[in-house]
Structure 1
């Protein structure tokens, strides 16, 4: 079977008009090797061989990236990756700085170009422009990472966290990333040793933050920007970027406002850019304002700036004047939305959240958002999502501090995310017991709940933190409930732990036994998933004690079910069976057939783990009958998937490997339909074992590799190690 690389190589060679012999002469790779790759008699080549072939073919960066990506199993490989933000079409000036920065490298040492300077001076714009100019020199990838150094020291990205992001961008799986900063830094340099990669590290806090992130290869380039001085960054060529020369500032203003708007007004333009402090960001905003006001002259605009408007908290009058002028010439509705957006704690916002914040209809709010984009006070980085530039965010937050609607707007914002998350959660798992929640006054359920959770996860975390900091205890534990299914299905183990730690604190502050029991149970579940067995058991027993004290049979049943799962994780299958049996009796007493089916499957599963396969089959087949007896099949898909998986395990361990394969394939379909990548990985691993027992090593290897990728992505190291052992044995 011809692999992806072989097919890609043959296509690229044919397009280049080369024979295999000619390609061998150019690359130094043997003609038999090339032939073997193209016919499938050889496996994927080593990275160095793939790069030699790509170089010999003379491919453009995109085609080269596709060819190198085909040489590895992991589809998240770096090859040709380009994370750079877009270059500005109206980039102006900085010719001397560009000439200096373009003269990079002598081939003997890693190239480090550091650009520092004040906020708004254009460091990132220049670095991005330069990176695009240099892109062809670094065909193996162009990476971009915002280090958030403009924020407080507590908010700046920790170097260890930054290294994890960079290593994952290189395709390094989570289970290979060490915990220590020094070890991560060493692995980062090793991964770049044979690659030509450009890394743009934006908004650095200090040289201390940057040093562990620097490549070690002379074939790589690190571009660094920072508001603070980077003179102590050893080995770096430091460019301290000043404001624009007046001539370039005038050219920038004219290029944005339009040559016809500034014709014959050079002195007025010169005064205006000086009033903007010659700062590129301020000049851009002022020029956009002139362009949108056809009856204004440059002198009129300069006069308005000269009057002196509210300053930014940075104390830089030029920037404050530009922002204030833009703000003052918004309509009252636009001004109000601009201020309220300054309250949002997350990285971006969609029109529905903005509408809740402003207490307006979504379509009207979207028009206002687009107005703010036109005024250069808001950015639309992705269709339908909006964010501030850092300095504009600061200004908006300052303006929002005295808004009389501040408290009510924050309440609306928290309630919007809570109710939308709750609605999305109900779509993901309709028959999960709901938590008490006041009816929503605005908003609507997302059409694709999993995609909504994926897009909003950073905002949801920020809102949850905000609610916790403000003592909104009810919303804190409710939002934790609404996020639980999403975290579980996506394998977001640490995210679940974080929200439930805060959720338990909130539930205890409310002193509501039902909320406390639920919080202890789900926090225990989160600990168990992370292998923290002592903490898991402690919280689960506290949950059970609270449920027994209040006589809440349903909460007792849920907790017994979770205790069974936690006991299995500890390796105590008999105790797991005891807890699952107790859960079954409670669900039967409550006459909850869906829950009874889940508990029957759990009892059957633990019998199977104990080698008691007849009892196991009887319980699981009864569970399957109950699941399929419900007409609303979608509502029970999760539990159906678990039951099919259990029956596959039983069949496999009783020698019925064909039945096992069929059950596992059905379970796999269920989990994939649900986006439950956590259980998808588990079922793939079991399906591989069944395929192997059926004498299908190729199919087994494919399933194991798919499972391995998912385990790596989820940081599940023990599971990944187990699969690697199977693959190694298969290779022998």
Structure 2
């Protein structure tokens, strides 16, 4: 969270004195504010006073500057009243660490995911916000929106349910939202401030010089974040008196907030390596830090990074995040100050090099995260053995756990890399590997929302760098996701744009796939004539390149379009062409299915005798292909045809044969057969095609 009035856990820099156990509840002060906030929940709103039923959730606003403990107060309020809201507690942060507002679309998507509800890829901001509000229409939930930059985001997510409560944390008022109950924070009272200090150090150091301690509290304006850092500095300097700290802060020639002054002092007192790492952590995506990120940014070993991170957390400069894997968070109130220190003390080239090292490390981790799923490949196993132990995952499950835990930071890394504009090659590699890892572990459907955002970033880079090949690939992937979610018209426009980009890049794969996809979109829209025309264009390209398997499939798609349009003669001609191509390539299962479709069209065309002969031939090919489902379907079709031809006895025999075939298949499935589709089978659908990508 952005601001804390609680003491972070971890070891202190000097290693002296135990700290409170992690997870122990340590909220300090704010009794009056908590009482007022609880009373505001019960107090009647303007609508209730006027005799109308409240149309929306009650809104409580906790306002204060970063470092005032506003988030900690909000969390304490949520802890105290959560049992009143059986719909659960939902949380979202509405500002990035660098101050960029989080789009409502992303916040709504994360909140819907927390509710376990689907979030269609590419859905608009308004649609997602409406879906979220509808999800809370009959759910008494408590919603905490942290670090809201303004009223617009809060209003978009405000539930239309008076049984819900929304707690917003912001720097100032939410102008434009009616009936907001504000609570503006100043500093902690002196007693709570001193207690916060004495939790970090021996209380005797305060009691022997109470005036200096009170003067320090006054100097720091009772700001919890500043007091936490002050306590960390005193813990690291056991020989220093409280008065010594106050003198050093007074001697700081730079003007600024109390938090800025105490941070500069804490930073200056760190060893050079730790101080440099602390500054560079401001570059961590989403303020989310793990040992690999810190190691890459600082250019040090993984073990060294772990030790420094623990020291920084002990000094209150980082917050340890409860998670299965070691994870830390740069407090939101410190992020802009650390970034300012980095820009002042490190050259731009050094900062860019640190970003590049971090992205390169992330790419390598994603490569191994994906590769661990390919354990059946001897080549992949040998490649994994050649990697340093720190970059290897012991099992596919461990890789998936890492990917889930790091997902927000990985997506933020992709966004920041694209926004940077100077590391586009690394950004492209990162996004390519991120897509492949997500598809390998989660599957295309489960990861569709994230994949859509990544492909949009790929498109941004491709357009900026004028890379038509990658532009075509991104447009195709986005259009595929649009088509799967019913936005066929939007998909059609993107397929046409992909065709133009593919032609510009002279990429036959992209142009062929785009032409076929344009045809598919027209068919989905009911324009079968145009569908057949576009399938025919794609077919001409496949035939010119000698791609007979693809040509056979396209003959079938053309036949399907003609069938829908009622042009059975054209459909029959194209199915026969497809059968000839399958015979040429030796694809027995496809040959059987094509014969089955030919028989179906013959039946539609009023040629039952021909359909009967073709169906019998298809049964034989299905038997050769060992396709029992197709065999059963064909036997049922034979039975229907024979009944129409006036032979019920033969029809009954074929129907019985179909039942026996299906019964044997069910028995086989009960004995352990499966028909599952692995995530790897989805990989090609969303692969980012980058000429320089490494596997």
After TM superposition, list the pairs within 5 Å mapping 1:97-246 onto structure 2: 97-103=33-39, 104-105=41-42, 110-148=57-95, 152=99, 155-159=100-104, 161-174=106-119, 179=124, 181=126, 191-230=135-174, 233-246=177-190
Whether 2:459 is the aligned partner of 1:490: answer no
The question of whether the paired residues in 2 share the 8 Å contact of 1:424 and 1:450 is answered with: yes
Q: Which has the larger radius of gyration?
A: 2
2:234 is aligned with 1:290? yes
1:298, distance to aligned residue in structure 2 (A): 1.8
Within the alignment, does 1:321 sit opposite 2:261 as a pair?
yes
- Determine whether 1:264 maps to 2:208: yes
CA contact (8 A) 1:164 1:177 kept: no
Calculate the TM-score normalised by the size of structure 2: 0.66
Stretches of structure 1 lacking an aligned partner (at least 5 in a row)? 1-85, 550-554, 590-595, 625-644, 680-732
SS in structure 2 of the partner of residue 414 of structure 1: helix
Give me the whole-angstrom Cα distance separating, in 2, the residues matched to 1:556 and 1:132.
59
Q: Deviations over 1:104-139 (max 9, x none)?
A: 315765543221122211111111111111122223
Q: Note if contact 1:90-1:256 (Cα within 8 Å) is conserved in structure 2.
A: no
CA–CA distance in 1 between the matches of 2:452 and 2:175?
41
Preserved contact between residue 253 and residue 287 of structure 1 (Cα < 8 Å)? yes
Which residue pairs with 2:655 in the alignment? none
**Equivalent residue, structure 2, for 1:527:** 479
What's the secondary structure of 1:337's corresponding residue?
Answer: helix
Please state how far the C-alpha of 1:388 moved relative to its aligned partner. Answer: 0.4
- Cα deviation digits, residues 331-363 of structure 1 (max 9, x gap): 111011111112234341322232122111112
Q: CA deviation at 1:270?
A: 0.5
Q: Which residue of 2 aligns with 1:375?
A: 315
Please report how far the alpha carbon of residue 280 of structure 1 lies from its aligned counterpart in structure 2 after TM superposition. 0.9
Distance 1:355 1:161 in 2: 29
Q: Please give the residue correspondences for 1:507-546 in structure 2 after superposition, counting only pairs within 5 Å.
A: 516-531=468-483, 532-542=490-500, 544-545=502-503
The aligned counterpart of 2:357 is: 412
Deviation at 1:647, TM superposition (A): 6.5
The aligned counterpart of 2:27 is: 91
How much has 1:161 moved relative to structure 2? 5.0
**Distance of 1:138 and 1:258 partners within structure 2:** 41
Task: Name the counterpart of 2:328.
Answer: 386
2:428 to 477, 495, 501: 477
- Contact between 2:121 and 2:450, CA under 8 Å: does it hold in 1? no
Corresponding position: 1:254 with 2:204: no
Cα displacement (A) at 1:398? 0.8
Q: Which runs of 5+ in 2 are unaligned?
A: 1-21, 49-53, 381-385, 484-489, 524-530, 564-574, 593-624, 637-657, 686-695
Alpha-carbon deviation of 1:290? 1.8
| CA distance in 2 between partners of 1:213 and 1:621 (Å) | 52
CA 1:675–1:606: 2 relative to 1, 3 Å: closer
CA distance in 2, matches of 1:600, 1:401: 58
State the TM-score, normalized to the length of structure 1: 0.63
- Report if the CA contact (8 A) 2:121-2:449 is conserved: no
- What SS class does the counterpart of residue 278 from structure 1 fall into? coil
User: Do 2:141 and 2:165's aligned partners in 1 also have CA atoms closer than 8 Å?
Assistant: yes
Tell me the SS of whatever aligns to 2:199. helix
Q: How many residue pairs were aligned?
A: 544
Task: Give the number of the structure with larger relative contact order, counting CA–CA contacts within 8 Å between residues 6 or more apart.
Answer: 2
Alignment of 1:302-381 (within 5 A): 302-308=246-252, 315-316=256-257, 318-381=258-321
Q: Structure 1 419/187 Cα, relative in aligned 2: closer, same or farther at 3 Å?
A: closer
Query: Counterparts of 1:106 and 1:89 in 2: how far apart (Å)?
Result: 28
Q: Deviations over 1:585-640 (max 9, x none)?
A: 95879xxxxxx8xx69967985996896994796364899xxxxxxxxxxxxxxxx
Q: Identify if the C-alpha distance between structure 1 residues 91 and 453 changes in structure 2 by more than 3 Å, giving closer, same or farther.
A: closer
User: Which deviates more from structure 2 when the two are superposed, residues 300-309 or residues 400-409?
Assistant: 300-309
Secondary structure of the residue that 1:157 maps to in structure 2? coil
Deviation of residue 253 (structure 1)?
Answer: 2.0
Work out whether residues 309 and 324 of structure 1, in 8 Å CA contact, stay in contact via their aligned partners in 2: no
> Relative to structure 1, is the Cα distance of residues 440 and 213 closer, same or farther in structure 2, using a 3 angstrom cutoff?
same
List per-residue Cα deviations over 1:182-239 (Å, max 9, x = no partner): x776765554454432222221223343234334544332222211124764223221
